[in-house]
A and B are shown apart, each in its own frame.
Chain A
Amino acid sequence: MSRNIYSALLIFTAILFSFPAISQGHNHDDHSGHDHDSHAGHDHGAHEGHDHAAHAGGDHDSHTPNCSGDHGDHKYDPAATAIHHISDANIWSIMEFPIPLPMILKSDAGIDMFMSSKFHVASMHHEDGHASYNGYVMHEGSAYRVNQAGFPMDGSVDHGPFTHGTEMVDGKERDVKFVCYNNTPYRIEQRTTLDGGVLGGGITNFWDFSPTKNVIAMFLSCLILFFLFRGAAKKYKTNPEKAPSGLQGMLETMVVFIRDEVAIPFIGKEKYMKFFPFLLSLFFFILGLNLFGQIPLLGSVNATGNLTITAVLAIIVLILVSVNGNLDYWKHIFWMPGVPTFVKPLLAVVEGMGIFIKPLTLMLRLAGNISAGHIAILSFIGLIFIFGDLFGGIGSGMGLAVATPLTLFMMAIEIIVAFVQAFVFTILTASYIGAATEEHHH
Chain B
Amino acid sequence: MFLLLDFIPFQPSPGLAIWGLVIFLLFWAIMAKVAFGPIANALQTRENDIQDALDSAKSAKEEMANLKADNEKLLAKAREERSEMLKEAKNAKNKMIADAKETAKEEASRIMVQANQDIENSKKAAMMEVKNEVGAIALSIAEKVIKKELAGNSEQESFVKSLVKDINLN
Contact residues of A with B, CB < 8 Å? 83-84, 86-88, 104, 142, 172, 174-175, 190-195, 199-201, 207-212, 214-215, 218-219, 222, 225-226, 229-230, 232-233, 236-237, 240, 251-252, 255-256, 259, 273, 276-278, 280-281, 284-285, 302, 305-309, 311-313, 316, 367, 371
Q: Which B residues are CB-close (under 8 A) to A84?
A: 8
* A-side interface mostly: helix
A233 with B38: in contact, given A218-B23, A280-B31, A313-B24 (CB under 8 Å)? yes
- B: which residues have CB within 8 A of A? 1, 3-21, 23-28, 30-32, 34-40, 42-46
Q: Who on chain A is nearest to B14 by CB? A: A194
- A255 proximity list for chain B (CB < 8 A): 36, 39-40, 43
C-alpha spacing A237/B39, complex, angstroms:
9
- Provide the bound-state CA to CA distance between A101 and B34, in Å: 29
Residues of B within 8 A of A278 (CB): 28, 32
A285 to B23, CA, bound (A): 10
Roughly how many angstroms separate A226 CA and B28 CA in the complex, as a whole number? 10
Known: A191-B13, A226-B35. A236 touches B21 (CB 8 A): no
Closest residue of B by beta carbon distance from A87: B8
Q: Are A277 and B40 interface neighbours, CB within 8 A?
A: yes
With A200-B5, A281-B36 known as contacts, the answer to whether A306 contacts B16 (CB < 8 A) is yes
**B13 and A194 contact, CB distance less than 8 A:** yes
Contact A237 B38 (CB under 8 A): yes
Which of B15, B21, B30, B34 is A212 in contact with, Cβ under 8 Å? B15
Contact A104 B9 (CB under 8 A): no
Closest B residue to A201 by beta carbon equals B5
Q: Which residues of B contact A277 (CB under 8 A)?
A: 28, 31-32, 36-37, 40
State in angstroms the CA–CA spacing of A252 and B44 once bound together.
Answer: 12
The reply to whether A308 and B13 form a contact with Cβ atoms under 8 Å apart is: yes
In the complex, which residue of chain B has the Cβ closest to the Cβ of A219? B23
| Count, A-B residue pairs, CB within 8 A | 175
Complex Cα–Cα for A225 and B12 (A): 26
Most buried by A among B35, B42, B44: B35
Complex Cα distance, B13 from A149, in Å, reads 26
- A209 engages B9 (CB within 8 Å): no
Given A225-B31, A259-B40, decide whether A306 and B19 contact each other with a Cβ distance below 8 A. Answer: no
- Residues of chain B with a CB closer than 8 A to A230's CB: 34-35
Return chain A residues, CB-CB under 8 Å to B45. 240
Q: Residue B17 contacts which of A190, A233, A312 (CB distance < 8 angstroms)? A: A312
The distance from the CB of B47 to the nearest CB of chain A, in whole angstroms, is 9
Please determine whether B32 and A193 come into contact, CB atoms closer than 8 angstroms.
Answer: no
Q: Which residues of B contact A208 (CB under 8 A)?
A: 13-15
- Give Cα A302 to B30, complex, Å: 24
A-B contact pairs, 28 of them (CB 8 A): A194-B13, A194-B17, A199-B4, A199-B10, A199-B12, A209-B18, A214-B16, A214-B19, A215-B20, A225-B31, A226-B34, A229-B31, A229-B39, A230-B35, A232-B35, A233-B34, A233-B35, A237-B38, A237-B42, A240-B46, A252-B39, A259-B40, A306-B9, A308-B12, A309-B16, A311-B17, A312-B24, A316-B21
CB distance from B1 to the nearest CB of A (A): 7
Do A307 and B11 touch (CB < 8 A)?
Answer: yes
A311 touching B5, Cβ below 8 Å: no
Contact A307 B10 (CB under 8 A): yes
Selected from A86, A104, A193, A229, the residue in CB contact (under 8 A) with B34 is: A229
Please indicate the chain A residues that have their CB under 8 angstroms from the CB of B20 in the complex: 214-215, 218, 308-309, 312-313
With A208-B15, A255-B40, A312-B17 as given contacts, are A222 and B9 in contact (CB-CB < 8 Å)?
A: no
Smallest CB separation, B9 vs chain A (Å): 5
Residues from chain A with a CB closer than 8 A to the CB of B21 are 312, 316
